[in-house]
Amino acid sequence: MKKLSAILFTAFLIITGCDSYSQDDYQEVVVIESYAVANRLLPPVRVSKTVPADVEYNLSNATIRNAIVQMVLLDENGNDEEVFNFNFTPNSGGAYISFSDHKVLPKRTYRLDVSFNDRDEVLRATTTVPDIVEIVGDVAGSVVYQSSDQLEILIAENERIQDQSVFVFSTISQEPILENLTPFYRASVDAGNVEIADLINNSSGLINEGNFQRNPDGTVTLRFPWIGVAFYGPNQVVTSSVDTNLDMLVRSQQLQLGGSTLPPGEIPNLLYNVEGGIGVFGSLSSDTVSTNFVRP
């Protein structure tokens, strides 16, 4: 999720250049950020505020520490089933934490509510958690980088909870040293465009249904894209199914950073799922395997 945090940070920097947020009529906006993971404890929630484009952004200074934060499990009719209170905890990096032992339920909908005693804003966002991702079958213990034998991940049949399933691969290097960088990422590090630390947990980007195979038995075959490999050697490969909110945010962010053919000056706003503010309340399900990426 580090990279999604970076997306939100980028949004803070460019927000005053978008149609609805011109610098002449800048207004402070409340930002929320939280990512629920199936079968894990309730996630931390960050509550902060935007700053003008000509002010250096610092999350610690922008953090709002007196919000009223609740996460609500909804029943099948959209009514409140269980309410979880969150408290601001400086030791957690300035996030709001729930001390409940509740674990996020797959295929269920949660609502995040944020309000204040000294501000008028009331923020609300919902997410429906993807079904469990379970990797089945054998995974190759080693794969030659950029060979014709692409790493394949077989996912057990699960229930689709949105129009189309969207997956993301993440590789977590177990030997993240300069000499193990693959050529593309070595060139980026040598050019000073990225730090090695930012590549230890590296994302493949979004993979939608056009890029994977649904099998007759209901399983799904995913082919790992080579762009996701930052380091040779042993890696953990995390396969995640993401909800609509994360999908929309990342795709709209790609437009913001030049991934489109829009004319100059016509930059659309990021797509948020938050009423009363901006940010993201998303969810995902994940499973992890290990493999070794071998030099060609």
Q: Which amino acid is at 80?
A: D
| CA-based max dimension of the chain | 60
The confidence score (pLDDT) of residue 258 equals: 54
CATH superfamily of 135-242+285-294: Immunoglobulins (2.60.40.10)
pTM over 0.85: no
The confidence score (pLDDT) of residue 21 equals: 45
On the question of pLDDT at 107 being above 90, the answer is yes
Q: pLDDT tens digit string along 8-62?
A: 444 444 343 344 444 457 889 999 999 999 999 999 999 999 998 888 888 888 9
Q: pLDDT tens digit string along 169-220?
A: 999 999 999 999 999 999 999 999 999 999 999 988 888 877 888 899 989 9
CA angle centred on 140, ends 231 and 202, rounded to 5°:
30
The domain limits of the chain are 2-130+243-284, 135-242+285-294
pLDDT band at 263 (very low <50, low <70, confident <90, very high): low
Q: What are phi and psi of 200, to 5 degrees?
A: -60, -45
